[in-house]
């Protein structure tokens, strides 16, 4: 008997936990601040509807209808020739899992340091540099991976129980921090910066593509993670209302995080605001935020809450990535715990290079971040193969649906999402030409060559293995744990 979430709330909280990750807290505030504030927010809301929510419905439909992980689901929905596309989705999410565990480890390390007062008086730049050049990230990577695996060990019930505690707590933490930030003297400068629109920016295509990228990366749509959790949804469970709820819930947290970070920055160090929001994800979170919290009354307490929230966000997303990879192995005949130990071993080994080298970490983040856009395109192609009208009538508007979805969804998946995915990939690769003079060098950290080389190797292997993948992943019934 396949496991199931015990209730709708178990599914929704686990899926929200998947969607809300570090990208909501450390990337969204930076991107909105550097891309026109209020006008970026308009584009960001538009792409929530034009990218994230329609793709979430596709993923829910795949999982609910096929009841298989990404490879098996692509075979069952689109046919045997499409196993490699499901394999790509799994590979992308698993490659991200390898380095995301390192990120979760950083968050845990900073949580411990904040809770013990180790960050308050120290030079944050020195702390960050000495930490990342030490062996500590390898240990914290192993710890984060171990925590994620131990939750998945107990199957979907374990994931559900953890999500029911961590996600409501995370919402409360983010609200507390946002309220603290807006009540700081001078916080209105942060609100002005966040919400004041620069209407001329809406004529800049880069703003729209940044807003689309933010939706593609931080809602989790098109990653295969929602598909994986949807395998365990009840037979008469709703798809469309859940998809909207998760999209809006995820972006609600992003907005709170934007308010929290920008009000804190503008209230405590307005002179360095440009430098702070331009410092990159790690620079903002691990170098600047500890310095800002240190200036705040009861700063140690609020710093601990910040890193606690960040750790919860990272761990619940990591758990979904571990479950995705585990589920693919279960489909090919592994027992759950065998599969988990295999994934844990692989995650431990393949995460080590990112734990040891920030250059390697940034390379993987760049390559598989672009890979996710291809994953979104593959979902749209496979959904077309299944039949969009059939999917809409039989699955999305099928038993248990709380909303009726019209033909607008069919149009978005057939035309708009594929165009968005191609535009995003072309735009990012075009931009990357200017980052590195040797832009075709496959050994570069963040350039076009490294993406093309790693994509070519991965796609070649998956295409060669297509027939084997199709036979194994779609044909074997789930082994019990």
Between 49 and 115, whose beta carbon lies closer to other proteins? Answer: 49
Query: Which one of residues 10, 54, 249, 444 is an interface residue with other proteins (CB under 8 A)?
Result: 249
Least distance (Å) between residue 88 CB and other proteins: 31
175 binds other proteins (CB under 8 A): no
In the region spanning residues 225 to 244, those forming contacts with other proteins, defined by CB under 8 A, are 234-236, 238, 241-242, 244
How many other C-beta atoms are found inside a 10 Å radius of the C-beta of residue 227?
31
Query: Which one of residues 15, 61, 210, 251 is an interface residue with other proteins (CB under 8 A)?
Result: 251
Using alpha carbons, list the distances in angstroms from residue 217 to 241, 371, 433.
21, 11, 21
Between 4 and 157, whose beta carbon lies closer to other proteins? Answer: 4
Between 186 and 406, whose beta carbon lies closer to other proteins? Answer: 186
3 binds other proteins (CB under 8 A): no
12 binds other proteins (CB under 8 A): yes
74 binds other proteins (CB under 8 A): no
349 binds other proteins (CB under 8 A): no
Between 7 and 34, whose beta carbon lies closer to other proteins? Answer: 7
Query: Which one of residues 3, 45, 342, 381 is an interface residue with other proteins (CB under 8 A)?
Result: 45
Least distance (Å) between residue 389 CB and other proteins: 25
Query: Which one of residues 359, 389, 402, 411 is an interface residue with other proteins (CB under 8 A)?
Result: 402
Short-list 241, 222, 252, CA closest to 51: 222
Least distance (Å) between residue 219 CB and other proteins: 12
Least distance (Å) between residue 4 CB and other proteins: 8
Stretch of 35-43, 108-116, 156-164, 324-332 contacting other proteins, by CB under 8 A:
35-43
196 binds other proteins (CB under 8 A): yes
Least distance (Å) between residue 383 CB and other proteins: 23
- Please report, as ranges, the residues that interact with other proteins according to CB under 8 A: 4, 7-9, 12, 38, 41-42, 45, 188, 191-192, 194-197, 234-236, 238, 241-242, 244-245, 248-249, 251-252, 255, 400, 402
């Amino acid at each position: 008997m396949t496991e199931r979430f015990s209730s709708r709330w178990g599914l929704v909280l686990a899926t929200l936990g998947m969607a809300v990750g570090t990208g909501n807290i450390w990337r969204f505030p930076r991107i909105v601040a550097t891309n026109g504030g209020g006008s970026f927010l308009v584009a960001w809301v538009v792409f929530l509807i034009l990218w994230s929510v329609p793709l979430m419905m596709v993923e829910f439909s795949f999982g609910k209808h096929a009841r298989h992980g990404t490879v098996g689901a692509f075979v069952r929905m689109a046919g045997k020739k499409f196993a490699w596309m499901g394999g790509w989705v799994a590979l992308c999410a698993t490659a991200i899992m390898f380095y995301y565990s390192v990120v979760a480890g950083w968050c845990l390390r900073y949580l411990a340091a904040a809770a013990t007062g180790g960050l308050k008086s120290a030079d944050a730049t020195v702390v960050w540099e000495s930490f990342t050049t030490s062996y500590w990230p390898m240990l914290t990577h192993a710890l984060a991976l171990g925590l994620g695996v131990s939750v998945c060990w107990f199957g979907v019930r374990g994931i559900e129980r953890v999500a029911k505690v961590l996600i409501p707590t995370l919402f409360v933490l983010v609200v507390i921090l946002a309220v603290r930030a807006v009540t700081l003297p001078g916080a209105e400068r942060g609100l002005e910066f966040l919400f004041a629109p620069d209407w001329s920016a809406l004529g800049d295509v880069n703003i729209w593509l940044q807003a689309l990228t933010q939706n593609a990366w931080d809602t989790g749509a098109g990653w295969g993670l929602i598909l994986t959790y949807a395998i365990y949804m009840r037979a008469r469970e709703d798809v469309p209302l859940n998809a909207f709820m998760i999209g809006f819930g995820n972006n609600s947290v992003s907005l709170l995080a934007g308010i929290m970070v920008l009000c804190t920055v503008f209230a405590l160090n307005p002179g360095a605001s440009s430098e702070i929001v331009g410092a990159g994800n790690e620079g903002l979170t691990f170098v600047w935020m500890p310095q800002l919290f240190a200036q705040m009354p009861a700063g140690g307490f609020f710093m601990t809450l910040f890193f606690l929230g960040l750790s919860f966000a990272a761990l619940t997303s990591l758990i979904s990535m571990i479950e995705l990879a585990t589920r693919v192995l279960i489909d090919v005949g592994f027992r759950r715990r065998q599969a988990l130990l295999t994934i844990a071993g692989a995650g431990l080994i393949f995460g080590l290079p990112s734990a040891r080298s920030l250059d390697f970490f940034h390379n993987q983040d760049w390559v598989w971040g672009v890979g996710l856009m291809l994953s979104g395109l593959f979902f749209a192609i496979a959904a077309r193969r299944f039949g969009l009208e059939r999917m809409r009538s039989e699955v999305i508007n099928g038993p248990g649906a709380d909303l009726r979805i019209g033909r607008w969804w069919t149009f978005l998946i057939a035309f708009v999402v594929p165009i968005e995915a191609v535009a995003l990939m072309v735009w990012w690769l075009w931009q990357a030409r200017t980052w590195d003079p040797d832009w075709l060098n496959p050994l570069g950290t963040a350039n076009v060559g490294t993406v093309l080389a790693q994509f070519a190797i991965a796609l070649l292997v998956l295409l060669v293995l297509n027939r084997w993948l199709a036979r194994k992943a779609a044909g074997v019934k789930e082994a019990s744990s």
